[in-house]
Amino acid sequence: MSLLDAQVVVRRPGHTLDVHLAADPGDVVAVIGPNGAGKSTLLRALAGVVPLDDGFVRCGRATWEGPGRTRLRAQEREVGMVFQQQLLFPHLDVLANVAFGPRSRGVPRREAEQRARGWLERFGVEDLARRRPAAISGGQAQRVTIARALATEPRLLLLDEPLASLDVGVAMALRVELAQHLREYDGVVVLVTHDALDAMTLANRVLVLDDGRAAQEGTPAEVARRPQTEHVARLVGLNVLRGTSTGTDVRLADGAALVSATPAEGQVNACFSPSAVTLTVQEPTGSARNRWPGTVTSVAPHGSAVRVHLDAVSGLIADVTPGSATQLGLAPGRRVWATVKATEITVYALTSTLR
């Protein structure tokens, strides 16, 4: 039986969140999706801060919220929550912040502080115990925030973009540390993130939300290889075109056509990497059967390559060498042809919830 089993339904004017989430002890579920997809609402509903309109939240044998009138308040659930803005209590020192949870749950002050010290040590910030939150760095503050959430020994740890507010270097270091701590943690972690790297390095499962529904669920590798939504394709840096397949011919949503090497029937995603796209100024005459005219919308360095965005089809990304970018005179507004070989394109069925 899953440790966490939840059907979260929250209705708001204009959009509805309706998603099922089940996870076993030790699972780290990354929730990704565009802004407004319902990621934060999902976390808040699990925490008990936002009431469900329907569905249930069960943790172990306990029903936290659910059919009928059962509803535990946030303070009665065994959750720890970490917010993007950290929200350390500014009037309490670091030690008192971490001891706040145990103290609120009735642990005597001395013991609560002892536990808090233990958590600060595990996060390598014990020397900050007597400092105020205003006197520590962003990376340190996020370590303290996570320690504070874990100090109540929750069975469900909710992380809302824990690394988003940090500088790139600091986030990188903390990501490695966090991965270590999450491996040692035996509850369920739900991690909302905008960063593909977080999902790949911290999570063993990915839940993709799109407009309040689960668009895809799987291991990070699966989701990255075969993204179902454009948002995830962007996150992992792939081109994904949606269309209807008959044999190896795919009719795309906007009327354009595409040929792949893998036959399929019905609604599909056609996926290919930006480096599989060739750009030319003249209409190509070679064997490549997928060619579309378009206008360059942006050009930016990407690693050792140059990443070009085109308005061809429903928007394409192409990686070219700096040399050919110069030679083709690539700049916003430039008309080019994009070519993709059929063998470079993977076609797979569209998930049922997105049809």
Point out which residues bind another protein (CB under 8 A). 47-49, 73-75, 77, 79-81, 83, 85, 87, 89-91, 100-101, 104-105, 131-132, 134-135, 148-149, 152
CB of 144 to another protein, least distance (A): 12
How does strand 4-12 pair with strand 15-23?
antiparallel
Nearer to another protein, 114 or 321 (CB): 114
Give the contacts of 35 (CB within 8 A, at least 6 positions apart): none
Nearer to another protein, 104 or 180 (CB): 104
How does strand 188-192 pair with strand 28-32?
parallel
CB of 79 to another protein, least distance (A): 6
Nearer to another protein, 87 or 354 (CB): 87
Find the distance separating the first CA and the last CA of the chain, reported in whole Å: 30
- Phi and psi for 199 in degrees, rounded to 5? -60, -40
CB of 151 to another protein, least distance (A): 8
Nearer to another protein, 187 or 227 (CB): 187
CB of 105 to another protein, least distance (A): 4
- Phi and psi for 159 in degrees, rounded to 5? -120, 115
**Dihedral (C-alpha) 191, 195, 196, 201: value to the nearest 10 degrees?**
-60
| Alpha carbon distance 317, 36 (integer Å) | 24
- Segment (H or E) for 261: strand 257-272
CB of 100 to another protein, least distance (A): 5
Helices and strands counted in the chain (H then E):
9, 18
Tokens matching residue 139: 């990376």
CB of 13 to another protein, least distance (A): 17
Scan for tokens 């997105």, then name that residue.
354
CB of 185 to another protein, least distance (A): 16
CB of 143 to another protein, least distance (A): 16
Tokens matching residue 283: 């209409």
Nearer to another protein, 161 or 344 (CB): 161
Give the contacts of 228 (CB within 8 A, at least 6 positions apart): 208, 215, 216, 240, 269, 350, 351, 354
Nearer to another protein, 32 or 43 (CB): 43
| Alpha carbon distance 100, 290 (integer Å) | 61
CB of 116 to another protein, least distance (A): 12
Nearer to another protein, 150 or 308 (CB): 150
How many alpha carbons lie under 13 Å from residue 163 in its C-beta half-sphere? 22
Nearer to another protein, 83 or 348 (CB): 83
| Alpha carbon distance 163, 123 (integer Å) | 15
Nearer to another protein, 72 or 256 (CB): 72
At 182, is the secondary structure helix, strand, or coil? helix
